[in-house]
Amino acid sequence: MSDEVKIPLPRSLQEIVGALLFASESPLTQQELRNAVRAVEAEEGENKEIMDVYKSCTSKEISEALRGLEKALKVAGIGYELVCTGGTYRMQTIPSTGRYVRAMLKLDRPSRLGRASLETLAIIAYRQPITKGEIEEIRGVDVSANIKTLVDLQLIRLVGKSELPGHPFLYGTTPIFLEHFGLSSLQELNKLDPTLQRSNPRLKAESYKKVEKKTELEKAAAEAAEAAETKVEEQKVEGEVQVEGEEVKEDTELELGLETSTTDESNNESEDDDDFFIDDTPDEFDEEDEEDEDEELEDDDGAVDDDDADGV
């Protein structure tokens, strides 16, 4: 049997958690830490009972280990600390040592945000999710350039679309925002300034829904009013058409009556005209006819007499 040196087991869960965070390239959640601890199996010759204790760790035990590690680092004062940002944990240097770290790594001084960008970021942080129009309503100026700067720095991002008319984009902060300002969650914003209380995203989403429902009700009411108005207009038009039809009918009957009466009068006038030419001949014409007849008779008598004379 070879004299192989055995590596001792960790003394506590806190040591394991600290080592995992120190070695990780990215922040880890409590669940990721727990999965990493439970994934290790006991090797031959190791104390299986101790390994089983680590393997059966709970989320509460992981949380206690993180709190213990945070206190230990603060007490030790070794230049870095445990930070929780957005539900994830990581080791990072304390702010007071930042200039020395940048000098060693030859990093440029980080760019600072202007006052306008900071004001816009603060509004988004406290009022998210929020639209560009709402930000401009609060600030009273155009914020397009500020929003573009914050998006480029990955401090804010699009989180959805509003149910308001036009469906404008909604903006919210990113995990980098929490990391940059050293916040474990957005709830800590209320601690920074008690006069500025962060809006509740769930309640704000409900307000959007209420606005949407109100808009739908108004739309339905407007449609109902429009339908009623249209119906009234149709009834009015039908009434006018009916009245016009009756008027036309009366006018037609009146015209037909006038034509009938005119026809009767014309017929009567025709009959009267016939009677006029037959019965109403002027007397002067009758006298002339009688005189002509008398003259003719006299001529005839004279002619007969002459003939008789000649014959005799």
Q: Given this model, what pLDDT does residue 260 score?
A: 53
Q: Are 54 and 36 in contact (CB under 8 A)?
A: no
Q: Given this model, what pLDDT does residue 259 score?
A: 52
Q: Are 131 and 162 in contact (CB under 8 A)?
A: yes
The more confidently predicted of residues 53 and 193 is 53
Q: Given this model, what pLDDT does residue 232 score?
A: 67
What does the pLDDT look like over 271-286, one tens digit per residue?
444 444 444 444 544 5
What does the pLDDT look like over 230-247, one tens digit per residue?
776 776 666 655 555 555
Q: Which two tokens stand for residue 258?
A: 């006038």
Q: Which two tokens stand for residue 149?
A: 């700067």
pTM beyond 0.75: no
- The mean pLDDT value for 9-32 works out to 92
- The mean pLDDT value for 6-28 works out to 91
Residue 312 has pLDDT above 50, yes or no: no
Q: Given this model, what pLDDT does residue 308 score?
A: 47
What percent of the chain is predicted at pLDDT more than 90?
35
- The mean pLDDT value for 148-177 works out to 91
What percent of the chain is predicted at pLDDT more than 70?
64
Q: Which of 9-13, 135-139, 212-216, 230-234 has the lowest mean pLDDT?
A: 212-216
- The mean pLDDT value for 52-67 works out to 92
Residue 297 has pLDDT above 60, yes or no: no
> In the structure, what pLDDT confidence band is assigned to residue 51 with cuts at 50, 70 and 90?
confident
Residue 210 has pLDDT above 70, yes or no: no
Cis geometry, peptide bond prior to residue 95 (ω within 30 degrees of 0): no
- Among 153, 147, 118, 116, smallest CA distance to 132 is for 147
* Mean pLDDT rounded to a whole number for the chain: 76
* Nearest-10 crossing angle of helices 30-38, 48-55: 150
SS (H, E, C) 192-249: HCCCCCCCCHHHHHHHHHHHHHHHHHHHHHHHHHHHHHHHHHHHHHHHHHHHHHHHHH
Sheet with 156-161, edge to edge strand ranges: 130-131, 169-173, 156-161
